[in-house]
């Protein structure tokens, strides 16, 4: 495992034990080059999931990316990393249990918001505001697309 601080590839495992809920192995690692310490989690991956963006583009579901966006929302919040880890595992399990190999990015966003709501109010508001702004920006683009590509067809919307 490469050191995230100095990119040295020879890091050492100092401690290895299951997480509280037994779904992952938590390893504490040490980098002899820069003395950096970091933690990795090893877990079962049941299946490959694809996320379908609003644009229709498909990208492989990336747990680490999801974790990073959640960590941005949780910045400086007093939340135990193991709880965050469990929350993300819960989201992934729910995504997997949908039984679909392709999942809308919207669905992922909704699950994250639901989970954050129970974990930390501040993080929830942060995530929701980013997510909502993003959606509104998209909606706005779509509206512009409609306006520029559509002639007046007589619809007034009130009859």
Q: Using CB under 5 A as the criterion, which residues of the chain lie in contact with Zn ion when the complex forms?
A: 3, 5-6, 8, 31, 33-34, 36
Q: Which is nearer to Zn ion, 36 or 90 (CB)?
A: 36
Nearest-5° Cα angle at 42, 38 to 46: 150
Q: Which is nearer to Zn ion, 37 or 104 (CB)?
A: 37
Least separation, in Å, of the C-beta of 36 and Zn ion? 4
Least separation, in Å, of the C-beta of 7 and Zn ion? 7
Least separation, in Å, of the C-beta of 38 and Zn ion? 9
| Structure letter (DSSP) for residue 37 | E
Q: Which is nearer to Zn ion, 4 or 81 (CB)?
A: 4
C-alpha distances in angstroms, 47 versus 7, 97, 115? 29, 10, 22
Least separation, in Å, of the C-beta of 39 and Zn ion? 14
**String of b and e for 71-95 (b: at least 16 CB within 10 Å)?**
eebbeeeebeeeebbbbbbebbeeb
Ramachandran angles phi, psi of 66, nearest 5° = -60, -45
42 touches 27 (CB < 8 A): yes
Q: Which is nearer to Zn ion, 1 or 137 (CB)?
A: 1
């Amino acid at each position: 495992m490469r050191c995230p601080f100095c990119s040295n590839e020879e890091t050492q495992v100092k401690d290895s034990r299951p997480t509280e809920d037994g779904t992952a192995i938590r390893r504490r690692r040490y980098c002899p080059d820069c003395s950096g310490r970091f933690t990795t989690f090893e877990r079962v991956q049941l299946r490959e999931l694809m996320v379908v963006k609003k644009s229709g583009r498909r990208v492989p579901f990336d747990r680490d990316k999801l974790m990073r966006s959640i960590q941005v929302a949780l910045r400086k919040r007093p939340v135990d990393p193991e709880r965050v880890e469990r929350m993300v595992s819960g989201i992934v399990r729910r995504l997997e249990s949908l039984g679909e190999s392709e999942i809308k990015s919207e669905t992922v966003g909704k699950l994250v918001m639901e989970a954050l709501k129970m974990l930390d109010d501040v993080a929830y508001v942060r995530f929701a505001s980013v997510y909502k702004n993003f959606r509104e920006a998209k909606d706005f683009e779509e509206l512009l697309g409609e306006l520029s590509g559509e002639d007046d067809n007589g619809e007034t919307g009130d009859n």
